[in-house]
Chain A
Amino acid sequence: MFKIVKQLTSLVAVFAVLFAFTTETMAAKKSKTLKNTQKKGFVRCGVSQGLPGFSNADAAGNWTGVDVDVCRAVAAAVLGDASKVKFTPLSAKERFTALTSGEIDVLSRNTTWTLSRDADIGLTFVGVNFYDGQGFMVRKNSGINSVNDFKDGISACTNIGTTTELNMRDFFNSKGISYEPVAFEKADEVVAAYDAGRCDTYTTDKSGLAAQRTKMSNPDDHMVLPETISKEPLGPVVRQGDAVWEDIVRWSLNTMIEAEEYGITSANADMMKTSENPAIKRLVGAEGELGAAFGLDNEWSLRIIKQVGNYGESYERNIAAPGILPDRGPNQLWTKGGILYVPPAR
């Protein structure tokens, strides 16, 4: 009899814990994500498993890249320190589940914004930090100079779980070419297999091709074909259902782009406080109460610019300087012939 009582008490204890847990879940407050982040003291950020220029860890485990900088900007805004980010490397396949299940709070992993992803699976895209398009890489000595040289039976290496697989099918179908898709789970294996000669071409976003080319045994033997077969606007993603957090991430990115537009850099941000231009003064927190809407102080944007830099600095540091894509192409400000255009911060 005593044994049963003992079992019962432990059972009750377990239920008490479970119940407490449930009520906590149900009492979803306004921006739970922001509150949790501030309580934890770091931003939980999902990144790639290693894509130079976008999100890549060095030997010491320091993450760099334009995608990484978005998370650093969020950390600078909400925690006051751009280094307070916990990076979780994710495969293309795992990324959305990690976000919707609450394992990470921001997904900044060269992710294409599409209708079905935005509408269907509980995600919200907050903006575009890189305009990309899918392309093909081939060996220089193959004599293929354009996608028009592709013939029936060509084998194409790629990643699973990306829009790449779908675009590739659309492309080859429209050209009426039969092809052999060889799809791997991780990018490193795709590169290794293509490099070994398993496939005639390697297809993914052009930025990815440029970055992965640097990892090949002999980068100069390969080239990216001029054609772009799809639109791939890449940007950070958050979970649906937390509008305040969504705004914070969106405007952290926008701040970086707008700062470049007004010529505010990490070096001159403090001096800009005395600028004549009200738009600049708002961005560095010298005028207006822009942070209050998110529940942040007024220097949130100043911290982003000072600690992470503007978009141009981030691009130069991560993508142009290592020689991945020195030409900014469409990722140039609208004022300089590109398509980077963000709503005004006011």
Chain B
Amino acid sequence: MKFNIKKIAPQLLTLLFVILVFGFFSYNAQLNMENRGIDFGYGFLSQESSFDVQFSLIEYDGSHSYFRAYLVGLLNTILVSVIGIILATIIGVIVGIARLSSNYLIKNTAAFYVEFFRNIPLLLQIFFWYFAALRALPLPQDTESIMGVFYLTIKGLFIPAFIWENFNIFLYSIVAAVVSIVVIKNYAKRKRENEGKQIPVFLISIGLLFILPFLSFLIGGVSLSFEIPVLKKLAKTSYIYEGGVGIPPELIALTLALSLYTATFIAECVRAGIQGVGKGQKEAAASIGLNPNQILKLVVMPQALRIIIPPTTNQYLNLTKNSSLAAAIAYPDLVLVFAGTALMQTGKAIEIVSITMLTYLSLSLSISVLMNWYNKKIAIKEK
């Protein structure tokens, strides 16, 4: 009993202390807000926002609510994070493996890249890519097209828009392809384990992934056409491309800066992971007759991933949080749209900042949960 009190008392006191500190702060905030005649409440979320946003994934203009503006910002944050994470992972894995190359040039180029990009503050890099790109890119009317349909200009990258007919049938065909690939993969696995037969699953999968969607065009009534951007004159010296899809230079610069920066850290994780697999493992694999490809795929990578995944999760979280630097270069992310313009127009600082904090927390926790699930899946399974 005596032991228990000793154990519990400090914890209870700490808990009490935390509650009191929070209580004090919220009481104080409430008191100060009352003194200064500021109302507290989330009612403003349904009011009309009356400001426009440059770039939005959902339909939005100033006649929509502040909540809608919040969604616009959130989706833009998710967009840049997802693209950033994918790009950073691809670059990171390539550079990480390149650092272990025996080729002097490849090895040192990769090392230089890592040291250079991870030692310069991210905000500077964002400014560099944005303003360097703006200075370097041509005006719309001076732009040479890339392959006749892409236009990279100071006002953004203009690409053809896809115009689908019966898009849902096309989607079904993709789903059907994926399902049949899974079935075949399981069948091949059983075949291999029971009868020792190898089935070329990879080739069959690729084939299915092409043939089924192709069939949907032939017999499913799916058709695809392109709307190519066309130059439009706004004034004597100002032009813009119309039609097609315009990707703002802010998004391009931000994605580039975020992924190049984060990729350096991921590259180091990958290198550490591969180097962390014992040399004996590779030798043992070679001695039972696996070829180098199989060694990498079946022996080295599964073990390396266990080392790579946890620190890489951190980098994904960092990238997501760093995307809030977007405000500096006018990319309308959550911080710029919601914790920026909306906060200013409503003056609801505490409400908006608390919502924004909770949103980033949820985003980070979702990524963590996903990565932890994956980590568990590839962890050593004790039998």
Residues of A that sit less than 8 Å from B by CB: 1, 3-4, 7-8, 11, 14-15, 18, 22, 25-26, 28, 92-93, 96-97, 100, 102, 116-117, 120-122, 138-139, 141-144, 149-151, 153-155, 157, 160-162, 165-166, 168-169, 173, 179-186, 189, 192-193, 196-198, 200, 239-241
Contact = CB atoms under 8 A, between A and B. Distances in A.
Contacts of B38: 100, 120-122
8 contacts: A92-B344, A142-B236, A143-B236, A154-B240, A157-B330, A160-B336, A165-B345, A197-B154
B180 interface: no
A179 B240 CA distance: 11
A181 B46 CA distance: 23
A125 to B, nearest CB: 14
A166 B50 contact: yes
Given A142-B238, A184-B328, A4 B9 contact: yes
Contacts of B235: 138, 142-144, 149, 151, 200
Contacts of B51: 165-166, 169
B250 A182 contact: yes
B205 to A, nearest CB: 42
Contacts, number: 153
Contacts of B6: 1, 4
Nearest to A151: B234
Interface of B: 6, 9-10, 13, 17, 20, 24, 27-28, 31-33, 35-39, 50-54, 62, 131, 134-135, 139, 154-155, 232, 234-238, 240, 242, 248-250, 327-330, 332, 336, 340-341, 343-347, 349
A331 B10 CA distance: 66
Given A100-B36, A182-B54, A196-B135, A122 B347 contact: yes
A274 B13 CA distance: 71
Nearest to B25: A18
Contact of B340 (A22, A166, A182, A185): A185
Contact of A241 (B35, B54, B236): B35
A192 B154 CA distance: 13
A97 B135 contact: no
Given A122-B347, A197-B139, 4 more contacts: A122-B38, A142-B238, A155-B155, A182-B250
Given A142-B236, A183-B332, A240-B37, A160 B20 contact: no
A185 B154 contact: no
A179 B17 CA distance: 53
Contacts of B17: 11, 14
Contacts of B250: 182
B13 A11 contact: yes
B37 A181 contact: no
A83 B145 CA distance: 58
Most A CB contacts (10 A, CB to CB) among B31, B33, B344 go to B344
A18 B22 CA distance: 12
A161 B347 CA distance: 10
Contacts of B249: 198
B328 A155 contact: no
A160 B347 CA distance: 14
Contact of B154 (A97, A157, A196): A196
Contacts of B327: 160, 184-185
Nearest to B343: A93
A114 B71 CA distance: 27
A56 to B, nearest CB: 21
